[in-house]
């Protein structure tokens, strides 16, 4: 299990806030299920005498799980104005070989991974999605992400596909490009 410690000052009441994030209380800790492919749930333990929260999650998680965990840590940290120690949650390396953790450096790492993913998708059949809605599918020619915020949720994406109707370009926020294996 990977581990993150969030330290805080003052007296904090967590149950109502933690439950809004989807956690349920079970066996002296809070639990949140991840994707079916994850190796288990996120487990959050409160140690009020030490004024810290310990968040643990399995090593086997998807990229979406990593995003969810990062958002949970960010949300809790902002709510309690806590300090994050994520040295026990090393998840990868950036393009310069520097270690990246689930909280510190996560968005740079995620951007690095996404760029590599989309470079590898060029020339392959993909689907362009906005939420649950498919905007189009075809062979990916180009992909670009313009950063407009510190997180990726608000970034502007543009991509061009060769579709049955010819060349089509898609632009907007929160557009996702995923591979398709069926022809």
By the 10 Å C-beta count (0-12 exposed, 13-18 middle, 19+ buried), 17 is classed as middle
CA angle 158/162/167 to nearest 5° reads: 75
Q: Which CATH topology does 122-179 take?
A: SH3 type barrels. (2.30.30)
Domains of the chain, residue spans: 2-109, 122-179
Can you spell out the DSSP letters for 138-167? EEEEEEEEE--SSSSTT-EEEEEEEETTEE
In this prediction the pTM is: 0.73
Quick one: 76 exposed, middle or buried, by C-beta within 10 A (0-12, 13-18, 19+)?
A: buried
The pLDDT value recorded for residue 70 is 96
Q: What is the pLDDT of residue 8?
A: 92
Highest-scoring range by mean pLDDT, 6-20, 68-82, 120-134: 68-82
Q: In 10 A of CB 103, how many CB atoms?
A: 20
Cα separations in angstroms, 85 against 40, 65, 102 = 22, 19, 10
Tell me whether domains 2-109 and 122-179 share a fold.
Answer: no
> pLDDT per residue over 80-114, tens digit each?
999 999 999 999 888 888 899 999 989 888 888 87
Q: For the segment 43-66, what is each residue's pLDDT rounded down to a tens digit?
A: 999 998 999 999 999 999 988 899
**pLDDT tens-digit series, residues 140-170:** 888 887 765 555 555 667 889 999 989 999 9
Asked if residue 182 has pLDDT above 70, the reply is no
Here the tokens at position 30 are 């809070």
Domain 2-109, architecture per CATH: 2-Layer Sandwich (3.30)
């Amino acid at each position: 299990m990977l581990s993150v410690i969030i330290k805080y000052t003052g007296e904090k009441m967590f149950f109502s806030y933690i439950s809004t994030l989807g956690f349920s209380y079970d066996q002296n800790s809070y639990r949140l299920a991840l994707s079916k492919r994850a190796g288990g749930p996120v487990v959050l333990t409160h140690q009020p005498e030490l004024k810290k929260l310990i968040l643990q999650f399995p090593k086997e998680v998807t990229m979406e799980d990593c995003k969810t965990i990062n958002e949970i840590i960010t949300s809790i940290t902002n709510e309690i104005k806590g300090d994050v120690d994520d040295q026990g949650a090393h998840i990868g390396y950036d393009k310069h070989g520097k270690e990246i953790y689930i909280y510190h450096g996560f968005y740079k790492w995620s951007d690095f991974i996404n760029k590599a993913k989309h470079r590898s998708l060029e020339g392959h059949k993909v689907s362009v999605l906005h939420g649950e809605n498919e905007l189009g599918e075809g062979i990916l020619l180009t992909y670009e992400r313009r950063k407009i915020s510190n997180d990726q949720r608000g970034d502007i994406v543009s991509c061009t596909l060769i579709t049955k109707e010819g060349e089509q370009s898609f632009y907007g926020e929160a557009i996702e490009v995923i591979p398709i294996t069926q022809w």
